[in-house]
Structure formats: structure tokens, C-alpha cells
A = this chain, B = another copy of it.
Amino acid sequence: MSNSKKIILTEQDMPKQWYNIQADLPEPLDPPFNVRTGKPATAQDLSAIFPEEIIKQEMSAERFIDIPEKVLEVYKIWRPSPLVRAFGLEKVLDTPAKIYFKNESVSPSGSHKSNSAVAQAYYNMEAGVKRIATETGAGQWGSALSMACKMFNLECVVYMVKVSYEQKPYRKSLMQVYGAQVFSSPSDQTEVGRKVIAEDPDNQGSLGIAISEAIEDVLTHKNAKYSLGSVLNHVAMHQTVIGLEAKKQMEIAGDYPDIVIACLGGGSNFSGTAFPFIMDKLQGKKSGLKAVAVEPSACPKLSKGVLAYDFGDSSGFTPALKMYTLGHTFMPGGIHAGGLRYHGASPLVSALVKNKIVEPIAVKQREVFDAAVLFARAEGILPAPESAHAIRAAIDEALKAKEEGKSKTILFNLSGHGHFDLSAYDNYLSGKMVDYEYPSEKVCEALAHLPKI
């Protein structure tokens, strides 16, 4: 098989279980904290917005959890995804390293987000939920959830941050094609939204406001629940189909990665890609694995943040989570990789960084786009700006291997395509793209607003 460009699994070879890394952590996670009650959050606290099965998964320490047959059926629309040997990129870099990438851009929504969206829609359907509300920024999560809800005949309501709604109308259109209702947030659909508009009619919205609107929507509609596309444990677990497939595919290729790389916004694509390999390390089967989480220098929570309890949203509605954070009020610079503009990192990834099992690095926007264009020209595929962070790190590792004259095996996740991001490429090609440095003063100020727990 060594001449194969793509290593393909059959549908029969798809993983039948997700991997839950909570079973293998060096120490248990600190629980989420309910700031209103002053106590750890309970399943009861979460039940207003999540169905029971999702809450069970969120708190489970079981190592493997069965993927329901109906979820597998929908996965088959695009899964198993290809593992690709980046021969073209290796040649351009003239590196002795072997570079593989898992191609999650083949999903109908264009990114890995569908892996959890389908699972969440299924569990909500099973629980008798009729309506799911969520928020979306750039629109990848909203697209994935819209499509997933349609597959299980659920109503989907998406509060889309106004500035994105206006600047990225095509993501909105895609959600509408899938039958979702999409509201520009702040909207007139909720108390929260109406209040914001009354105070500031030109408010451009924020993820924090959109989350508040989605949660209010859930609390004011019958049979409605909320859904989140990253950060939480169950989301990370659903994404492990990526790494589980990749392990089988690497085995077919007769290889095992020395280095696993994914970009990190909230942490779901990184978790999905790396956790099944980190499992081998935690279980003592492989010791040398290097797992790299790549974040933008504009929003480097793992590299420069603090490990503390913080809210998941910028308004402080959610339970507080123990995570690396830049502070929930921190507003990162306007990089094109909208999916990475998040102040915190998944508690699971945070725990692994703390234990030095995951290594974070931060990269600048222009070097990310250098890598994206190099990749597109060598491998033909246009990457999402988020995914290009992983490509940047993979290229740097391959060049290091060349310098050292070592043959390393590198695996990265191509989490999504860039078909909806061409204005970002325009910005790069026109020479106008700017870098955003780590804004230490803004971070300091935001960290002053951490909840006191």
C-alpha cells in the first residue's frame, strides 16, 4: 500500500465506539462549577439545556461508548474519511519526513463539526426533543448542526453573530438550505436580544449574546434543548472517530505517527484527532508521541493563558469550567480563522497540557496563510484558515526533520475546507494581511474578571 495516495477504509471498518479519554487521565477532571449555587454543577443543573444521554456522556469515565446505529448511518454520508499521504507537500519541502493528513473537509458541512452535530441531534431526537437552538460565529458549527437536525427531523434554530451574518451570508444560506431558522444576533426573538437592541441598535453581536439568546430560546420553548459544538467532554468524545479511523489507516500504511498535530479553538478537532493516539501513551503502549495543539498568536490560551475556572461564554451564563483561559471577556484580534477566536480550551485538553502530554504552540496569521497556499498548490485542496494552523506546524516539523536529517512520521488533521473563506485568501494574496500579536494588556484586564471560585 506504500504507493497509495489515500488510505481508504470501508464503511464496515468504521469505528463502532467513541473513545472517552476520561477513562485514562492521570487524574480526574475538576468538575464544572455552578457559580449561582456556589457548588459543583450537577446533572440536574444541566438537564434544562441538555438531554440525559449527553449529560451522562459528559460525566462518564467509561473508556468506550457505543456509537448508535442511526448515527453511523448518517456518518456514512461522508465517513470513513480518507487518510492522505501528502506526497506533493513532501516533494515541495524536500523533506525526509512522511506527512499524512486526515481529510475531514469531505463532510457535507465542510468540517469535522458534523461528527458531533449528528450525534447530538440523534440523542436529542431519542429524548423526544423537537427543537435545538444553538449559536454560531463563523458558521461552521451552525451548518453542521442544521444538516444534522434535518437528518433527524428536528427544528434547528441558529443565532448567528450579526457581524458574521452580514459578512458571511453564504454560511447563513447553507443553513437555510438545510431547513434551519437563522437569526442575526442580537435578534428580536428573545428578551436578551431585544434588550441589547433597545440599548444599542447598532450592536454587532458577540458569541456571548448569541449563546444567551440560544439558551433563552430553549428555556422558553417546549421540547427544546441547547447544543454546543466544542469545549465540552462529550463533543471531544464524538470527534474521536477522526483519530480512531486514522489509527486503523496508519496501521494499513504500516506506520505510526511520531507527531500528531491539530489546530485548537475550543478543542474538539484537536481532541478527536489526538486522543486515540494519546490513549496509547497514557496506557504506556507508546512513549515517544508528540501531540501538538496549534493556536493563533492572536488567541493563545494554552501558550499564554492561565489554568483557572472560567465561564464558557463571554457573558457568564454557563457553568464555570477548569481550563486554560485568556479570560471570558477577552476579545481576540480579527483573524480570519474565526473558529479559533475563543478565549478558553477544552478542560480535557487543558488537563493534558498541564500534565505536559500535549504541547501547545502559537503561530501568526501570515505564516499560516503562507502554509495554506503552499499546501493548496502542492496537494490541490484549499484548506480552511483554521486547519491551515495545523498545516503550518506540520510543515515546520517536516523542515526540522530535514535539518536534522531524520525521517519523522507526521500526522495532522485537515479539519475543514476553505470554500467559504476565499475573502481571507484575497486578503492574503493582495498583501494586505496583518499579524496579530499576543495582546498582553488586554489579557491582563480580562483575567481580572475571572469568577472567584
A253 to chain B, nearest CB (A): 13
How distant is A423 from chain B, measured CB to nearest CB, in Å? Answer: 7
For A419, give its contact among B73, B77, B419 (CB under 8 Å). Answer: B419
Kindly list chain B residues whose C-beta atoms are within 8 Å of the C-beta of A108. 380-382
| Cross-chain contact A380 with B73 (CB below 8 angstroms) | no
Residues of B within 8 Å of A5, CB to CB, are: 11, 73, 76-77
Contact A425 B380 (CB under 8 A): no
Interface status of A198 (Cβ within 8 A of chain B): no
Let me know if A110 is at the binding interface, CB within 8 A. yes
Q: Say whether A174 contacts B76, CB under 8 Å.
A: no
Chain A binding surface, main DSSP class: helix
- Distance, CA A110 to CA B106, complexed state (A): 11
**When chains A and B are docked, how far (Å) is the Cα of A89 from the Cα of B96?**
47
Q: Using C-beta atoms within 8 Å of the partner chain, give the interface range for chain A.
A: 35 or more
Kindly identify, within residues 160 to 185 of chain A, every residue whose CB is under 8 Å from any CB belonging to chain B. 169-170, 173-174, 176-179
Cross-chain contact of A6 among B76, B178, B373, B381 (Cβ < 8 A): B76
Q: Of all chain B residues, which has the CB nearest A147?
A: B380
A to B CB contacts below 8 Å, 30 in the list: A4-B76, A5-B76, A5-B77, A6-B11, A8-B8, A74-B380, A77-B379, A78-B380, A106-B106, A108-B382, A147-B380, A150-B377, A150-B380, A151-B380, A169-B426, A170-B422, A173-B422, A173-B423, A173-B425, A173-B426, A173-B429, A174-B382, A174-B422, A174-B425, A176-B429, A177-B377, A177-B425, A177-B429, A178-B377, A419-B419
